Amino acid sequence: MTEPHPHASVASVLAIGAATGVLAGLLGVGGGIIMVPALVSLGFNRHRANATSLATILLVATTGAIGFAISGAIDIGVGLSLGAGGLIGGTLGARWSSRMSGTTLAWIFGFFLLAVGIRLLIVGGDTSGNLLIEAPGSYLVAVLVGGLAGIASGLAGIGGGVIMVPAMVYLLGLGQHTAEGTSLLAILFTAIAATRVNQRHHHIDWRVVGWLSLSGAVLAPLAALAAQRITAETLTRVFGGWVVLTAIRTLSKARTDSVVQSGP
């Protein structure tokens, strides 16, 4: 087998894809927070890692969404509304990212994730049925949430699930399972938009996308089906723990970058 990258073995790339697929299927997120740092550690530059990650998310989220759809755990209307907002937000985020300090963005995003994660860990449970906003207002809120997630995607190179899933649970009253499935549907929109732009700039390593997707796209629908057998409370707390760990990692990197920038 041909190695996908001078510093990346096929086995290592397949392992990254597998972890991404399981994460997408279980928690309804794209997995960019795993893929990007992992690819960078294997020798990819940041632009190529981000672009390759987003292209992979497109394929993995598709198969993951299919897994949730088989179980009927997707709200099509909310998903399309989130996706519409994500297309707009992703474009804005990509433009704004060049105007703001990456360290500043990391601090803001890290504290936001920390608050969301702690809330999920403390509250837990399934808020299904606690609809705070009735349709058609719920679809407008979904567009706004999708826009926020899209901005985060453009600024931080993530799929946006860490924002969309909690918002659907607490603002729209969707159950944890349905929120995760709907998140994967919405992620497709931001991933498509970003991948088109990245392809024009030749930032995507399609060979690596193929290896990542080989394991990720296979495991995502299986993990999605497995998620249906896990209680909503357990999924919520697992998701909250993952968000908190992501926040800590983001804030730690922001602190390191701040020290470096303020050095002699």
Q: What's the domain range around 204?
A: 10-258
Domain count, the chain: 1
Sign of the alpha-carbon torsion through 27, 30, 33, 39: positive
Q: Which of 168, 129, 126, 128 lies closest to 146 in space, CA to CA?
A: 168
Assigned domain for 36 exists: yes
Does the reported pTM lie above 0.75?
Answer: no
Assigned domain for 141 exists: yes
Q: Tokens representing 223? A: 């993990």
Q: Tokens representing 80? A: 């399309």
- Report whether 185 contacts 74 (CB < 8 A): yes
151/27 Cα distance (integer angstroms) = 20
Beta bridge partners of 8: 5
The number of angstroms, rounded, from the C-alpha of 204 to the middle of its chain's C-alpha atoms is 18
Q: What is the block-wise mean pLDDT of the chain (264 residues), using blocks of 10 residues?
A: 58 88 77 77 79 84 85 88 88 68 71 77 58 64 88 71 83 84 88 80 88 86 80 77 82 78 62
Assigned domain for 4 exists: no
**CB burial of residue 97 (10 Å; 0-12, 13-18, 19+):** middle
Assigned domain for 164 exists: yes
Assigned domain for 78 exists: yes
Q: Tokens representing 40? A: 């960078």
Assigned domain for 94 exists: yes
Whole-number Cα distances in Å, 1 to 10, 207, 255: 8, 12, 40
- Report whether 145 contacts 82 (CB < 8 A): yes
The pLDDT assigned to 1 comes to 41
Assigned domain for 43 exists: yes
In sequence order, which residues have a C-beta less than 8 Å from that of residue 104 and are 6 or more positions away?
none
Assigned domain for 5 exists: no
